[in-house]
């Protein structure tokens, strides 16, 4: 697929930053998986396992992203992909499950294989987001993934600390996904005439709508989950206090 954005143009670098940002936000768990898969290797092989696992993951992710970008030219697939990307954006704003059940390997090949399979299984959202942000530009995908995937692995602790200190980074990333998703839906070849009739020459109308939708729904659901978790914690504390009181009375 030919490049659609002039290399070095402002649009090219904006799209490149979008790809890196999306990949950083959606790949936090991947670095943990790599560490878990290589934890039983000797020190020297551990470094080799991380290096070859990352290289294989980059190559395969480029292939799958280019393939996904090609599939998105099929009518209505952009609409389906955009709706899925909206859901991914909302999920990004919700509390995450931090449990990882990855068996540590004691052989280099087994560790690399585990990294590759786990990365592919966990990177569907990354592939879709990057394919949407690339706007049909293969060169953007190659540069963006070659920069961001190693950055995720070796700079994951810094990224996680920044996200913990500045929560707005996640909100902004979710908003970016919503904007990209809306743009993907609006550019679906099966529905472009409909959106052109509705919005005229405004190319980013659905993008701004998707941005607002993701942030609003994400905020509402996150607040609801936080209230539910807080209520459940209070119930457990009350139940624990009741148990201690009953035990105290029985001992008397």
The pLDDT confidence band at residue 181, using thresholds 50, 70 and 90, is confident
Q: What is the pLDDT of residues 5-35, one digit of tens each?
A: 667 678 888 888 888 877 777 765 566 666 6
Q: How many CA atoms lie within 13 A of 16 on its CB side?
A: 17
90-108 core/surface letters (b: 16 or more CB in 10 A; e: else): bbbbeeeeeeeebeebeeb
- Confidence at residue 203, expressed as pLDDT on a 0 to 100 scale: 77
Specify the DSSP element, H or E, that contains 64.
helix 43-71
Q: What is the pLDDT of residues 32-75, one digit of tens each?
A: 666 666 767 777 777 777 777 777 777 887 888 888 888 878 88
- Which of these, 113, 114, 78, lies nearest to 192 by C-alpha position? 78
Indicate whether 78 pLDDT > 70.
Answer: yes
- Which of these, 132, 117, 100, lies nearest to 61 by C-alpha position? 117
């Amino acid at each position: 697929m030919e490049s659609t954005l002039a290399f070095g143009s402002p649009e090219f670098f904006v799209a490149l930053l979008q790809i890196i940002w999306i990949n950083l936000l959606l790949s936090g768990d991947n670095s943990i998986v790599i560490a878990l898969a290589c934890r039983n290797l000797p020190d020297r092989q551990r470094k080799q396992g991380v290096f070859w696992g990352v290289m294989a993951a980059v190559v395969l992710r480029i292939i799958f992203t280019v393939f996904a970008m090609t599939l998105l030219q099929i009518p209505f697939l952009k609409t389906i992909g955009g709706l899925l990307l909206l859901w991914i954006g909302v999920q990004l704003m919700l509390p995450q499950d931090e449990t990882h059940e990855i068996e540590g390997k004691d052989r280099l090949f087994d560790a690399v294989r585990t990294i590759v399979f786990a990365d592919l299984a966990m990177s569907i959202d990354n592939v879709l987001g990057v394919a949407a942000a690339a706007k049909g530009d293969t060169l953007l995908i190659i540069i963006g993934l070659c920069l961001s995937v190693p950055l995720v692995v070796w700079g994951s602790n810094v990224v996680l600390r920044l996200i913990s200190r500045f929560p707005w980074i996640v909100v902004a990333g979710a908003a970016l996904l919503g904007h990209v998703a809306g743009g993907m839906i609006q550019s679906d070849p099966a529905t472009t005439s409909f959106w052109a009739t509705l919005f005229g020459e405004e190319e980013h109308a659905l993008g701004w709508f998707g941005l607002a939708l993701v942030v609003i729904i994400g905020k509402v659901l996150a607040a609801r989950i936080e209230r539910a978790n807080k209520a459940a914690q209070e119930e457990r504390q009350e139940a624990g206090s009741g148990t201690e009181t009953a035990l105290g009375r029985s001992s008397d």
